[in-house]
């Protein structure tokens, strides 16, 4: 059974949290290349998804769908703020992201947003990139990696915040799946693994993490009847 807009908005209300309230005071990390890469990636990615979401809000015909996208945008701003705090207070720097991250979030996503702003008929394609590929796979793989590294290193505040981001992203992906179902768009999940591996690199996007995220993704798509891949 696929959740409707009311169910998603109820989940969003239940999950609200404050990025300023996460206690990062005991978390310190230096010289960990994987954590630095992940935080650098999420710094660019979360701020881009927050900034680029307006055309999705405008293209959603249903007022309830529009409200969901608008609530999602507030979540994305909170995520961006949380990763800024992690960079400033835990890493002590704002590291540069991998070129593959910059390509996806500073070029591909804005180009898709512009296309959607010009033609709302591209909403299915735009939701496919934003909610299914970026949030459903690329973010899911990165969050899983960062959460497990944070737990291993005893970074309790980072782990707390990433777990909250992860919970928010689940309903965002649910919103995307609901949109695709309503638009009768099907998605081929087989391309998504390559996207996640390319963006994060093989040390973060390990085959196990990619498999795990793809399996969860395929289950959601199958329930909604929007999966076309075998």
Binding site for Fe ion (CB under 5 A): 46, 76, 79, 135, 169, 172
State the minimum distance, in angstroms, from the CB of residue 27 to Fe ion.
20
CA distance 83 to 72: 17
Nearer to Fe ion, 45 or 228 (CB): 45
Does residue 27 sit in helix, strand or coil? coil
Q: Which is nearer to Fe ion, 146 or 154 (CB)?
A: 146
Residues in contact with 65: Cβ distance below 8 Å, sequence separation at least 6, in sequence order: 5, 175, 178, 179, 182
Query: Can you say whether residue 151 is alpha, beta or left, with left for phi > 0 and alpha for psi between -120 and 50 degrees?
Result: alpha
Residue 31 structure tokens: 């010289």
Tell me whether residue 21 or residue 33 sits nearer to Fe ion (CB atom).
Answer: 21
Closest separation in Å from C-beta 175 to Fe ion: 9
Q: Identify the DSSP state of 200.
A: H
Task: State the number of CA atoms in the 13 A half-sphere of 187 facing the CB.
Answer: 33
Identify the helix (H) or strand (E) that includes residue 109: helix 109-118
The C-alpha angle with vertex 164 and arms to 62 and 162, in degrees rounded to 5, equals: 125
Residue 39 to residue 146: CA distance in whole angstroms? 8
Least distance (Å) between residue 26 CB and Fe ion:
24
CB of 230 to Fe ion, least distance (A): 28
Smaller CB distance to Fe ion: residue 26 or 109? 109
- How far the first Cα of the chain sits from its last, in Å, is 21
Kindly state the smallest distance separating residue 31's Cβ from Fe ion, in Å: 27
Which of residues 172 and 220 has its CB atom nearest to Fe ion in the complex? 172
Of 16 and 228, the one with the shorter C-beta distance to Fe ion is 16
Where in the chain does DSSP place strands (E)? none
Q: How far is the CB of 164 from Fe ion (least distance, A)?
A: 10
> How far is the C-alpha of 139 from the C-alpha of 146, rounded, in Å?
10
């Amino acid at each position: 059974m696929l959740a409707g807009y009311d169910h998603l908005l109820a989940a969003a209300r239940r999950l609200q949290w404050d990025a300023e309230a996460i206690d990062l005071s005991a978390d310190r990390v230096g010289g960990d290349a994987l954590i630095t890469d992940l935080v650098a990636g999420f710094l660019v990615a979360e701020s881009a998804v927050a900034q680029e979401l307006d055309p999705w809000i405008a293209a959603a015909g249903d007022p309830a769908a529009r409200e969901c996208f608008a609530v999602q945008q507030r979540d994305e701003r909170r995520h961006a703020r949380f990763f800024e705090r992690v960079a400033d207070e835990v890493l002590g720097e704002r590291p540069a992201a991998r070129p593959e991250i910059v390509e996806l979030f500073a070029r591909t996503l804005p180009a898709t947003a512009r296309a959607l702003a010009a033609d709302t008929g591209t909403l299915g394609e735009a939701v496919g990139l934003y909610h299914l590929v970026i949030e459903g796979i690329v973010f899911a793989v990165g969050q899983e990696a960062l959460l497990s590294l944070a737990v291993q290193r005893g970074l309790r505040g980072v782990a707390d915040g990433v777990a909250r981001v992860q919970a928010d992203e689940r309903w965002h992906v649910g919103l995307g799946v609901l949109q695709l179902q309503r638009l009768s768009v099907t998605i081929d999940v087989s391309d998504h693994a390559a996207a996640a591996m390319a963006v994060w690199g093989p040390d973060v996007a390990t085959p196990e993490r990619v498999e795990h995220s793809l399996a969860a993704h395929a289950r959601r798509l199958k329930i909604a009847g929007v999966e076309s891949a075998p």
